[in-house]
Structure 1
Amino acid sequence: MINDEQRRQDLADFLRTRRMRLTPEQVGLIGGGRRRTPGLRREEVAQLTNVGVSWYTLLEQGRAIHPSSDVLHSIADGLQLTPDERQHLFLLADQQHPVDTYVSHEQVSPTLRRVLDTLDPFPALVIGRRWDYLAWNTMGEQLFLLMEPVPPYEYNAVWRLFTDPRSRQIHNPSWEQVAQRVLAEFRADSVRYADEEWFKRLITDLQRVSPEFRDWWPRHDVRGRTDARKDIQHPLVGLLMFEHTTLQVPPTPELKVMIYTPLPETDTLTKLQHLMAMKVPATPVG
């Protein structure tokens, strides 16, 4: 691993190179004539980021100072860093880069949608940071009965699990175990956005309509996502047995790709192929 001295020097070099690529005009400052070196001056960066010139100079010199998360965000904004550069800045400053929890619209790229389609008849879905199903392939729709929304949180996985009677049916006889596990994973994720209004509304509504959610939520059970076996009682073909895994999408790590692989030495794959022959491809939302 990189030592602290090298990390501070890399941070200093990174800040200097990002500063030198900008012109005063790009950041809304008056140019002030010819400059001996390209880019912004340190005092201009300090002005843009509301920090002291001496303090910022020490940072660019690789001194042992520890900027706060708020200061790093301010520097990233002032230097007009890209999302990748912003994350790199936080790593060099030895801080965890918080996921932006204020993104209101999550998008699934055309490339990822094609990947989902290619996986048929293996069920595959994309879930967002709010636990909304954002996209799925034909068999993902069939597996989780996503043909119709469930208002008012139409494609929210937690809402559907606790309020849609069909979700109880496909997870019988182990619905309680599945629901408690999903709730613990959702609780672990929720620490990043618990102050957001949509989250508060969802929790309030779930407590109002679901006795189980109302009883279990105060327990504060948490767990991470792990590969596991998942059984589904499909209304048309009966028991389906899967190995379930969740993958992250590097460009948008808040998105999760959920893939269900038929369990070997079962008739699950044959049943999936039968379902594929019965249904036309689904049109995903999002």
Structure 2
Amino acid sequence: MTWYTWLEQARDIQVSGQVLDAVARALLLDVSERAHLFALAGSQDPAPPAECPSVTPAVRAVLDQLGPIPACVQNSRYDILAYNRAYGLLLGDMDALAPQDRNCMWLAFTDERWRAAVVDLPATLRLMAAKFRAAMAGHLTEPAWQALLARLEGTSAEFREVWARREVVGQSSKAKYLRNAHVGLLHVEHTTLWLGPGTGARLVSYVPLDGRTRERLERLEELAGARGGMRGGVPVEV
């Protein structure tokens, strides 16, 4: 198609989302190809595919091998899809939570144990809301994103206040302090590794920044191992 070639040449042409959707269906484009088509046109996908990154056995093995470093797999909506033993007790008790509540945004604004573990809570909440707004920009029409936003706005006045600031920031690594209920103060660096292009899935870890923190994380993993548990939980439905 001539206009498709023009799109790839970055020419300024106007194509509606409905037309792009019809083209994607006619050409049987896969998820990546469809996303590329809409990105070229600078258009919002009216029927985006459901984001459902899988936690493969290899990824789960990586999580386990990272211990005692707490680590989890999240999707772009901040659902926690899997986690290792140390992460399970880092900010509360992940195994005790219902799968639909294993979401970092939800926990940060509603769960008292999670909130008590964050040393600089006000700044952290502002940063998380700004990251969530940036991530949501590509998912504005998706029901799961809309449902999470409505749930947060309907439950937390604090979220409504922070959300009204309309701040936006991208993903980045950050040093932080956490106050763990079992082993005490932890000085860690929050790191993010993307698991694949266009999936939104990422591996998040909390790397110790000093020897005392590493020792405390080792004790935390031992405690989690002694308690048993689900070792990663059940991935939420996305």
Report the counterpart of residue 220 of structure 2 in structure 1.
Answer: 275
Task: Give the greater-gyration-radius structure (CA).
Answer: 1
Report the counterpart of residue 136 of structure 2 in structure 1.
Answer: 190
Change (3 A) 1:82 1:242: same
Q: How does 1:1-286 map to 2 (within 5 A)?
A: 56=1, 58=2, 66=13, 68=15, 70=17, 71-86=19-34, 94-95=40-41, 101-103=48-50, 105-145=52-92, 146-149=94-97, 153-172=100-119, 174-250=120-196, 253-264=199-210, 266-280=211-225, 282-286=231-235
Change (3 A) 1:114 1:165: same
Q: Structure 2 length as normaliser, TM-score? A: 0.80
Q: Which deviates further from its counterpart, 194-203 or 117-126?
A: 194-203
Q: Secondary structure at the residue paired with 1:261?
A: strand
Q: CA deviation at 1:106?
A: 3.7
Contact 1:233 1:240 in 2 (8 A): yes
- Name stretches of at least 5 consecutive residues in structure 1 with no aligned partner: 1-55
Change (3 A) 1:201 1:253: closer
Q: Secondary structure at the residue paired with 2:69?
A: coil
**Aligned pairs, number:** 225
Change (3 A) 1:193 1:88: closer
Contact 1:121 1:273 in 2 (8 A): yes
Q: Which has the higher contact order (CA 8 A, sep 6+)?
A: 2
Contact 1:132 1:157 in 2 (8 A): yes
Q: Secondary structure at the residue paired with 2:164?
A: helix
- Name stretches of at least 5 consecutive residues in structure 2 with no aligned partner: none
Contact 2:125 2:162 in 1 (8 A): no
Q: Structure 1 length as normaliser, TM-score? A: 0.68
Q: Which deviates further from its counterpart, 59-68 or 222-231?
A: 59-68
Contact 2:53 2:199 in 1 (8 A): no
Contact 1:150 1:164 in 2 (8 A): no
Change (3 A) 1:78 1:224: same
Cα distance in structure 2, aligned partners of 1:62 and 1:68: 11
What whole-Å deviation, never above 9, does each CA across 1:142-198 have from its counterpart, x for those lacking one? 2122122158x41111111111110121013x1111111111111111122233333
What whole-Å deviation, never above 9, does each CA across 1:195-227 have from its counterpart, x for those lacking one? 333333333332333221122211111111111
